[in-house]
Homo-oligomer: A and B are copies of this chain.
Amino acid sequence: MTYCVGMMLDMGLVLMSDTRTNSGVDNISVFRKMFTWNVPGERVLTLLTAGNLASTQALVSQLEERMKAPDERDNIILKSPTMFQVATEIGRLLRTIVREQQDANGDKQRSRFSASIIVAGQIAGMEPRLFMIYPEGNFIEASGDTPFFQIGETKYGRPIILRAYDPAMRAEDAIKLLMVSFDSTLRANLSVGMPLDLQVIERDAFAVTHEQRVTFDDPYFQAISTSWSDALRSAFHSLPDYHFPEAGE
């Protein structure tokens, strides 16, 4: 499994992904699921990937291949004039890759090759944008009503984001929120694992403004993990107490 979150804030974009891939619980590896391309001062683009590793690696490799011929007309990353076109082209490429495997392997295996992608970034002269691309190649864009996307194991870490997210929050607070959300997920699902990749793309920087690999012995992550358990328990105890109704009530 996987857990990735892309968050749109007033200050820009904050992204986090885990790095565990598994084929059964007895076969786990560390693979990066966050990929960035940057033309300094002009555009920055980050992909978060979930799903079949062969499919997502094929996607990233094909994007990389095209980077080696930057003058090619079909260089999605460098040549697309808008983020919308980037998402459209990556969606098309993803669909082709997933379909090819599905067609080659028959009906029963369809879901095995599936993959989802979060695309985040900004191109000069335009706003930062955030998309989620489905294995079918179509996609949706984040908006004020739904300002963040999760892919992979989304459920355990969702309630805290729903409650604490605020578009005006600082990047530091968004990182704190993501750490909490990832901590809840890591505790509940073995197939989501450390280290985590973290990235901040500030509005109009056209570059990655902060990047970090959070390892299992990261003191801040450990502090969050410990204090969150205590804070949750205190929050729980602060709630009004239940009383059994009196007889006759």
- Chain A residues close to B by CB (< 8 Å): 155-156, 158-160, 162-164, 171-173, 175-177, 179-180, 184, 187-188, 210, 212, 220, 223-224, 227-229, 231-236, 238-245
Contacts and interface: CB of A to CB of B under 8 A. Distances in A.
Contacts of A171: 244
Contact of A188 (B155, B175, B176, B234): B155
A224 B243 CA distance: 13
A212 to B, nearest CB: 8
Nearest to A236: B164
A188 B244 CA distance: 28
8 contacts: A159-B159, A159-B187, A159-B188, A162-B187, A164-B232, A172-B243, A177-B236, A223-B239
B158 A159 contact: no
A187 B161 CA distance: 12
Contacts of A175: 242
A242 B188 contact: no
A234 B242 CA distance: 21
B244 A210 contact: yes
A234 B180 CA distance: 13
A171 B231 CA distance: 22
B188 A241 contact: no
A164 B228 CA distance: 12
A150 to B, nearest CB: 11
A159 B184 contact: yes
Contacts of A184: 159
A232 B163 contact: yes
A235 B231 contact: yes
Contacts of A224: 239-240
Contact of A155 (B155, B163, B229, B231): B155
Nearest to A183: B159
Contacts of A243: 172
Given A156-B159, A164-B232, A176-B239, 12 more contacts: A155-B188, A158-B188, A162-B187, A163-B232, A172-B243, A176-B241, A176-B242, A212-B245, A227-B240, A228-B239, A231-B235, A234-B235
